[in-house]
């Protein structure tokens, strides 16, 4: 038996490859399926099953294409209603894979079709669970994503999740290995650990949601407390996962269309496409196409695209570093953004050589910012997450989190300069690009973010440990 976790950091997502005696199961595959096919070929094995723990909201799974290419059966748990052929497993239904058995444990709560898959080894011993978004390490799945589909409140879903955990998962032995669908950084939970594999026994000891003396009322309160609104692209990804989607090869073929600066500009005007610049923030601030949006490929790219662009049908034109076009299109497609129309051939340098108009962002380092603050009080806007801001921030700074930057447009000064920062310089440039696209140009970015601000000796609030925040 072989179990391999295939973890994608920018999505904080874990897919799983399981092989036994020449048969393979894939759990929650990414949209680009070739790596799974190649792994099976290298093992001289056949992909037999594709297990889906639920209809994912934060990424588009590769289940439909993988089934078409391999003939493997797609398996969902009870209550699933996909538009394509799939086995809808009954609670407790067993599936034989080589010398091992995989059992569907219906664990509703995150969504009503959510299912945990229990793996028993060839001796019949419980070995591992693939818990999807039901159980994370340090947390559980948020219970508010299925409200419309299930016609239930988040409190009712949380009660359902409480029952699932205590009747299906907590009775399992402590040495059972937990393989979750997500880790720290995912929007599907609140307080996940940075680790991506653990034992159930350790989770029973340290995961707040698995306290043995926890009442249902306490669970509902703690699980629902502090939930931010889910990103707007989530229901669109669920729709694609339920109804199907275009093969990724066709998406890449359409998107890898080289465009001259003139053709690029004409197509943007003709289609209303967003110009998405994925270069490093240090390059973007020095020069970029006016009204383009910056979301760098080297950061948390796909989730920020989903949160800030939101509409997966939005036409997109790309400005990328050399050699990064196909990677960018692939990562966009992972979160359902399939409508890439082409890219700027020759990159931003080609744009500049045509003498077309371009824009810049004023950016200063933290030491210069300190000199300014020593002389006068100036407006400072912090675009980090709420937990980061509450833990520690520049004295008298305004909080305008990047996730919801469009809701704060009226708070930014219109007629005087203001300063924007994040933790390290990535998110503040995203925010600056969005503000400039909205006609707000009187901003100054603080390069290096809060880390450099602290090192420069700028006055900040007293530190509050994030673990104490409720």
Residue pLDDT, tens place only, 24-52: 999 999 999 999 999 999 999 999 999 99
Does residue 16 surpass a pLDDT of 80?
yes
Using the predicted structure, report yes or no on whether residue 147 has a pLDDT greater than 50: no
Does the pLDDT value for residue 240 go beyond 50?
A: yes
Cα torsion 173, 175, 181, 187: sign = positive
Identify the band that residue 191 occupies on the pLDDT scale cut at 50, 70 and 90.
confident
Report the share of the chain in percent with pLDDT over 90.
89
The CA distance from 34 to 299, in Å, is 24
222-237 tens-digit pLDDT: 999 888 888 889 999 9
Beta pairing, strands 94-97 & 46-51: unpaired
| Each residue's pLDDT tens digit, 206-222 | 999 999 999 999 999 99
Residue 145, pLDDT score: 76
Cα–chain-centroid distance for residue 351?
31
pLDDT of residue 227: 83
Q: What are the extents of the domains in the chain?
A: 2-235, 246-353, 363-468
Q: Per-residue pLDDT tens for 388-403?
A: 999 999 999 999 999 9
Task: Specify whether the backbone of 79 is left (phi greater than 0), alpha (psi in -120 to 50) or beta.
Answer: left
> What's residue 343's pLDDT?
98
Q: How many helices (H) and strands (E) does the chain have?
A: 17, 22
What mean pLDDT value characterizes the chain?
A: 94
Read off the tokens for 459. 């006055």
Token duo for residue 108? 């509703």
Which has more pLDDT, 361 or 187?
A: 361
* Per-residue pLDDT at 148 exceeds 70: no
| CATH tag, 363-468 | 3.40.250.10
What is the C-alpha separation between 183 and 36, in angstroms, rounded? 21
Range scoring the smallest mean pLDDT among 135-149, 211-225, 293-307 = 135-149
173, 238, 287, 439, 460 from 425: Cα distances, Å = 45, 32, 16, 21, 18
Task: Retrieve residue 405's tokens.
Answer: 């930057």
As a whole-number percent, the residues of the chain with pLDDT over 70 amount to 98
Q: Report residue 172 as tokens.
A: 């399992």
Do 2-235 and 363-468 agree at the fold level?
no
Question: Phi and psi for 57 in degrees, rounded to 5?
Answer: -105, -25
Burial (CB count <10 Å: 0-12, 13-18, 19+), residue 134: buried
Task: Give the three-class secondary structure for 3.
Answer: strand
195 beta partners? none
CB 210 within 8 A of CB 203: yes
CATH number of 2-235: 3.60.15.10
Q: What pLDDT digit, counting tens, does each position of 426-444 carry?
A: 999 999 999 999 999 999 9
- Alpha-carbon separation of residue 242 from 12, 63, 64 (angstroms): 21, 10, 10
Does 360 score more than 50 pLDDT? yes
Residue 97's CB is within 10 A of a number of other CB atoms, namely 20
Category of 239 on φ-ψ map: left (φ > 0), alpha (ψ -120 to 50) or beta: alpha
* Domain 246-353: homologous superfamily in CATH: Rhodanese-like domain (3.40.250.10)
At residue 146, the pLDDT reads 65
Residue 466 has pLDDT above 90, yes or no: no
**pLDDT over 70 at 1, yes or no:** yes
């Amino acid at each position: 038996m072989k179990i391999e976790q295939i973890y994608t950091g920018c999505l904080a997502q874990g897919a799983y490859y399981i092989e036994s005696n020449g048969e393979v199961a894939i759990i929650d595959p990414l949209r680009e399926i070739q790596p799974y096919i190649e792994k099976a070929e290298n093992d001289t094995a056949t992909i037999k099953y594709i297990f889906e723990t639920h209809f994912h909201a934060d990424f588009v799974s590769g289940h439909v294409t993988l089934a078409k290419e391999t003939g493997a059966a797609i398996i969902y748990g009870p209550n699933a209603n996909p538009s394509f052929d799939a086995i809808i497993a009954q609670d407790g239904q067993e599936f034989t894979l080589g010398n091992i058995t995989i059992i569907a444990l219906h664990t509703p709560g995150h969504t009503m079709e959510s299912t945990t898959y229990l793996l028993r080894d060839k001796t019949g011993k419980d070995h591992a669970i693939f818990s999807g978004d039901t159980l994370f390490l340090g947390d559980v799945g948020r219970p508010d994503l299925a409200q419309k589909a299930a016609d239930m409140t988040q409190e009712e879903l949380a009660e359902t999740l409480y029952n699932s955990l205590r009747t299906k998962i907590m009775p399992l032995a402590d040495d059972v290995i937990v393989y979750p669908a997500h880790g720290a950084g995912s929007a599907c939970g609140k307080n996940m650990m940075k680790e991506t594999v653990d034992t159930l026994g350790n989770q029973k000891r340290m995961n707040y949601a698995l306290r043995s003396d926890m009442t249902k009322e306490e669970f509902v309160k703690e699980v629902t407390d502090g939930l931010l609104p889910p990103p707007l692209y989530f229901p669109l990804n669920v729709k694609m996962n339920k109804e199907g989607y275009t093969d990724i090869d066709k998406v890449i073929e359409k998107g890898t269309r080289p465009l001259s600066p003139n053709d690029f500009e004409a197509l943007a005007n003709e289609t209303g496409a967003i110009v998405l610049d994925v270069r490093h923030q240090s390059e973007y601030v020095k020069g970029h196409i006016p009204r383009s949006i910056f979301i760098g490929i080297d950061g948390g790219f796909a989730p920020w695209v989903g949160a800030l662009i939101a509409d997966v049908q939005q036409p997109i034109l790309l400005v990328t570093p050399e050699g990064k076009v196909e990677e960018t299109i692939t990562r966009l497609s992972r979160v359902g953004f399939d409508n890439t129309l082409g890219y700027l051939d020759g990159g931003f340098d080609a744009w500049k050589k045509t003498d077309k108009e371009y824009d810049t962002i004023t950016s200063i380092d933290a030491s210069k910012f300190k000199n300014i603050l020593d002389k006068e009080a100036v407006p400072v806007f912090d675009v980090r997450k709420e937990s980061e801001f509450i833990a520690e921030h520049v004295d008298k700074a305004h909080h305008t989190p990047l996730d919801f930057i469009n809701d704060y447009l009226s708070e930014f000064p219109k007629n005087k300069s203001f300063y924007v920062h994040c933790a390290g310089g990535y998110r503040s440039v995203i925010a600056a690009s969005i503000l400039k696209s909205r006609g707000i140009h009187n901003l100054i970015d603080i390069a290096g973010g809060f880390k450099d601000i602290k090192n420069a000796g700028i006055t900040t609030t007293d530190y509050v440990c994030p673990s104490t925040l409720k």
